[in-house]
Amino acid sequence: MSVETVVAWWERHQIPIYLTGLAVGAVIGVLLPESTAAAVEVAIYPVLGLLLYATFLQVPFAQITRSLRDGRFVTAALVLNFVLVPVLVAAAILPLGLERAVLFGVLLVLLTPCIDYVIVFCGLAGGDERRLLAISPLLMLAQIVVLPLFVLVAVGPDLVGAIEPGPFLDAFGLLIAAPLVLAWVTGRLRGRFRAVAVTERAATAAMVPLMTLTLAVVVTSQVPTLSGQLGAIVPVLPIYVGFLVVMAAVGIATARAFRFDVPATRALVFSGATRNSLVVLPLALALPPMFAVTPAVVIAQTLVELIGMVVFVRFLPRLIPQRAPAPTAPSGQATTTRRTDDREESP
């Protein structure tokens, strides 16, 4: 069996493969001692960084710059993540009367848009991952500034000091900047060195196994933490599921208001639905003992979101389908059919 055949097979069956990775990770996490599972957590950033490196190899760098100049998409992403999401969270979650440590965990994760693996999932669903990659620095900086203000209003001033920019900057450097620079260097050298070209092709072909490994590692490392906090975690699971469902609808509505094409619409939905749980987890772990349950609340969102993203990859293209091409007019007749392809006109 050729390598091409194997790659084609796992690309056709990627959703069941991802679900298998989640299941295997959960089983291993249950069976492993807690100390061993904690050691597995160290592998999250390396495997995620490798996955993002493979993703960035497929993104034309000239188009990243062009995407960053897309003022409409930048505006839509900022409005969605820093206006609509906080309003929805305040309206739907603050009245629930959650215990303070649980509420802080929910706010910590739901008010911070994802800047890392969202790019991968967006690309798998046919979204415009270039736009998400281009705005990731802006989203990162905005959440560093805005998150303390949200916490100040929702929870109180005594917790604002627990929010440090360090984890955000570390995650951006390790998961975005470093893989991006490495992918750029690879692209520059592929024509000069055969080994570099072979490495690039291998990394691109390995996207499905890399994603599966990442899902398994994340779940394996986090399951033991969840097992001891089930009483606090169960009430927030419907919140996280509901957030994914509602943000799919809100993202689509926002994209329609901005009149985006299909790939941009899918990208905006992913940006609004995915959260920065792996980045804010160090913040939760650094809280005082009275907030011991907060990391588990954050981790629970990670697991719900990973399953949700697999579902999004499978069903979002059906929810936001490519528009059919305009019918061809009979020979000799002029056509007045309106253009309906899936790419918007250049601004």
Taking only the tens place, the pLDDT of each residue in 101-160 is 899 899 989 999 998 788 889 988 999 988 998 888 888 888 888 888 887 877 777 666
Residue 104: count other Cβ atoms within 10 Å of its Cβ.
Answer: 25
Q: What one-letter code names the amino acid at 77?
A: A
Domains along the chain? Answer: 3-318 (1.20.1530.20)
Residue among 149, 100, 56, 89 at smallest CA distance from 294: 100
Work out the mean pLDDT of the chain and round it to a whole number.
82
Taking only the tens place, the pLDDT of each residue in 231-258 is 878 889 999 999 999 999 999 999 999 9
| DSSP secondary structure letter of residue 275 | B
Q: Which residue matches tokens 């798998």?
A: 124
Question: Is pLDDT above 80 for 72?
Answer: yes
Between residues 171 and 21, the one the model is more confident about: 21
pLDDT for the residue 60: 67
CA–CA distance from 313 to each of 14, 113, 280 (Å)?
A: 10, 18, 24
Question: Is pLDDT above 50 for 87?
Answer: yes
pLDDT for the residue 336: 34
113: three-class secondary structure by DSSP: strand
Full-prediction pTM beyond 0.85? no
Question: Is pLDDT above 80 for 42?
Answer: yes
Question: Is pLDDT above 60 for 344?
Answer: no
Per-residue pLDDT, averaged over 185-212, amounts to 84
Per-residue pLDDT, averaged over 43-66, amounts to 79
